[in-house]
Amino acid sequence: MRSTALSFLGSGVGSLSLADFHQYLPELLTQIAAGKLILPITQYPLDAIATHWNDSGNRLVFVP
């Protein structure tokens, strides 16, 4: 993959400090366990990535 022009963009744990992450994690897990965290996604097969890469709307998830 080093020789390809592939980039991954997104957010993750680095978007907040470790202290903030630890502060909010219990509530986040509570919301997930209660089924209250809804993340609308659109799922496509991995071989459709070229067709749907620039789609807008829900978060895109490409699966093998």
For residues 19 and 44, which has the higher predicted lDDT (pLDDT)?
44
Question: In the prediction, which pLDDT does 37 show?
Answer: 83
pTM score of the predicted model? 0.50
pLDDT beyond 80 at 13: no
Mean pLDDT of 7-24: 74
CB atoms near residue 52 (< 10 Å): 13
pLDDT tens-digit profile of 22-64?
898 899 899 989 999 888 999 999 999 999 999 999 999 999 9
CA contacts within 13 A on the Cβ side of 17: 3
3-state SS class at 4: coil
Report d(CA 58, CA 12) in Å as an integer: 18
Q: Which residue type does 49 have?
A: I
Cα–chain center distance at 7: 15
Question: In the prediction, which pLDDT does 46 show?
Answer: 95
